[in-house]
Each structure stands twice: as C-alpha cells, then as structure tokens.
Amino acid sequence: MAERDLIVVGGGPAGVMTGLLFARAGCSVTVLEEHADFFRDFRGDTVHPSTMEILAELGFLDDFLNRPHNRLDRAELRIAGQDWVVGDLSHLATPAPFIAMMPQWEFLDFLRSKAERYPGFTLELSAPVTTFIEDGGRVAGVRLADGSERRARLTIAADGRFSLVREQQLLPVEKLGAPMDVFWFRIPKTRSGTALRGSIERGRLLVMIDRADYWQCAFLIPKGKAEELTRGGIEPIRQAVAAAAPELDISALHGVDDLRLLSVSLDRLTCWHRPGLLAIGDAAHAMSPIGGIGINLAVQDAVAAANLLAEPLARGEDTDRLLHAVQDRRLLPTRLVQSAQKAAQDRIIGRLLEPGPPLADAPWLVKLLNKAPLLRRIPGRMIGLGVRRERVQSPDAYAA
C-alpha cells in the first residue's frame, strides 16, 4: 500500500477521533482496528461535557444527541444506609451539561460516519497490528498479522492500555499501582431515575450507572482476588450486591459468566514519542475507572495532537520535532487526574476494601456536599470538564 500521512493503531474513541481530525485537516489517514466491528460490552460508555464541547465545535453535537443515549447530571452515594447527593453537572456553562451514556459502539459508529465524509479517511477492520516497522532509526509504519504492511510518515498508537508500544517496550512506563479490580455486570431497572449512584460499606463498594432500562454495575474487589471470590460460584457476589443495593433484582445474575473482570491499572509513559511514533489515550496513560473519565481524556489527547500536528503533516513537513509538544500539552492534566485517582484509590477505596468495623456515618465532606447545592457543582465541574480541556484549532481543509 502507498505511504499515507498518518496511520492510527486502534479504533477506539481516541483513534477514530484522531483519524477524523487529521483527515478533516487534509491528511491521508488509515485507522487500523483489530476487531471485525466496534461491538464490545462493558467498554467505557460515558461521554462527558468536555467531549460534547468538541463535538459542538465540529458542528456534530445535534447529530450526536440524536443517537440513542441516556443523560446523567448528578452523582449520589449511599453510605451507612443513607443516600447523599455529592455532585451536580446541570449548571455547567457548556452546550451539554450532563454525561451522555451512550454505548461505545454507537459513539464509534457516529465518529466513523463523520470521518468518512473526508476523502483522506480510511478505516480497516479485522486489521490486527503485530509490530512496528523501523527504517533509518524511525518508525515508518506497521506490519499486520497477515504479513502485509502499512507505511506512513507518522504513526499514532491509540490502542489502549495493552498497546503494542507497551508490549514491545518501545516507550518507558511508570506504574502507579491500583488496589482494586472491578467486576462489571448489568441488572434490569425496577425504578426510574437518572443518576450515577454509589453504595459504600466496609468491604463492599458498588457503583451503579443508569442506562435507561438497566443498571450497569461495577463491583469493586481487592486486587487479584477475582478467582478466589468466584471459586464457589456466583452466590457470594449476588449476596454482596443485594446487601449493597436491596432494590436490585439479583436474580439477573445467573452465574460467574455474567461478570466481566476489569483488571485496573494506573500508569503512564514517561516519554510518549520517538521518531515517527506518538502514543495517546490509554496507550500513553492507563486511567483508573474512577470518574469514568478515560474516554474523555483520550479524546482531549486526540484534539491536542491534531491541533499541533495535523496542519504541518498535511503540508508535508517533518513532524518528529513537534511530537514532544503533544506530551508537553497533555502531561499536566494527566498527572493531575491520575494523582486524584491514586489518592482516592489509596486513601479511600483501598482502605474500605480491607476488613474493619462497619461504617457508622458518612464523612463530613459528603454531608457538606449533600447539604450545599452550590458546593456540589465543584465535583460536577471536575468530572464533567476536567483540567485544561482542549478546543479544536486544527483546520477544516474542506470548509469551502
């Protein structure tokens, strides 16, 4: 295949958004996705206001909101048997002041439909990449499992926390650690409501995400304990879930096969680039599921990469000298978010997962947030808009 301007490894939100923005700027782009379609269950489904701001800047927001989705604008916790409201997104000064709960395959299909309007965009499915091609000391493309090659002037790795750049140790990784793993599962809804809810007790943490007709549930467990907890079957998990949220219909959990294990990791590359290669999204910084912000940070990375690289790449310039600027731009928000996640993991979640006396009451901060609606906007803003959100500055070569 003839050389392209850009190859993107990974057809997740960061990869497809990257392909869209670079093709929009006039680059020839190939996005390579190893699976035959986008359909995978229990992938991140939270599209935050910061991402919808980007869609609005591109003129896509109305079309996006026409796709099936559910809206969340507040966060609740149940502690010591009492419910507390701790976050509010509804007052954010942004085009969409809520979290859009949309299946990731729906979001990816939406981005693909917009990207395919640009003649330089190509998406290849069932295209697993096995290695990078190096030529003259720089990455010059990739080799697929079938032995074929795809060459480009720049390659962007957006293939998640199990990225090829990590597997082949092309870029150094700093591991921050995580004290928990997560069982994902779904429970049909028996009552109305549109909120992100958490049930917190000593040794038992459950998060419930409203998905219109069912709850998408995350049950937190100590790191590496999944096999031990399920060795005797599903019943211990069923009973723990019933104790955490009595209103849930646990009969929907028929067996261990209904659980999907997420092995939580928190880490980041200390260098995101080398000549001809840039890593973004979870490939550059694996995030904890706390806050559901991984997708949105990855999309912000894609926007920053396009802002800094797309126009020079479209003009045929050497972009190796610019790759560091993407890391320079995105490292601060990555560090701040990961620091907050690590603090929550180590000081709250890890301690709660250890044996100890039952919780008798909610912490004072939870009580304060529940009592003061104005203060609830602070965590709402941090979750919804994050730190140093990006604006689309890459050009539209087809605007005329």
Query: In the chain, what are the domains?
Result: 4-71+102-176+265-350 (3.50.50.60), 180-222+225-262 (3.30.70)
Binned at pLDDT 50, 70 and 90, residue 41 comes out as low
Evaluate if pTM is beyond 0.95: no
Q: Extract the tokens encoding 273.
A: 């680039």
pLDDT of residue 84: 87
Who contacts 180 (Cβ-Cβ below 8 Å, separation ≥6)?
Answer: 220, 221, 222, 223, 264, 345, 349, 350, 353
**What is the rounded CA–CA span in Å between residue 358 and residue 348?**
14
The larger pLDDT score, comparing residue 159 to residue 44, is at 159
Q: Extract the tokens encoding 115.
A: 């990207």
Q: What is the pLDDT averaged over residues 251-268? A: 90
Binned at pLDDT 50, 70 and 90, residue 78 comes out as confident
Q: Is residue 110 scored above 60 in pLDDT?
A: yes
Tens digits of residue pLDDT in 192-232? 555 677 888 888 888 888 777 788 888 998 999 899 889 88
**What is the rounded CA–CA span in Å between residue 32 and residue 159?**
9
pLDDT of residue 215: 84
The label of the residue with tokens 């809206």 reads 71
Please check whether residue 34 is in contact with residue 126, taking contact to mean a CB–CB distance below 8 angstroms.
yes
The label of the residue with tokens 């006039």 reads 26
Q: Taking the CA of residue 184 as centre, how many other CA atoms within 13 Å lie in the half-sphere pointing to its CB?
A: 14
Q: Extract the tokens encoding 347.
A: 């000081």
What spatial distance separates the first Cα and last Cα of the chain, rounded to whole Å? 30
Q: What is the pLDDT averaged over residues 159-178? A: 91
CA 85, 91, 93, 98 torsion-angle sign: positive
pLDDT of residue 292: 79
Q: What is the pLDDT averaged over residues 18-45? A: 87
Please check whether residue 51 is in contact with residue 299, taking contact to mean a CB–CB distance below 8 angstroms.
yes
Please check whether residue 379 is in contact with residue 86, taking contact to mean a CB–CB distance below 8 angstroms.
yes
Percent of the chain past pLDDT 70, that is, above it, reads 96
Q: Is residue 312 scored above 90 in pLDDT?
A: yes
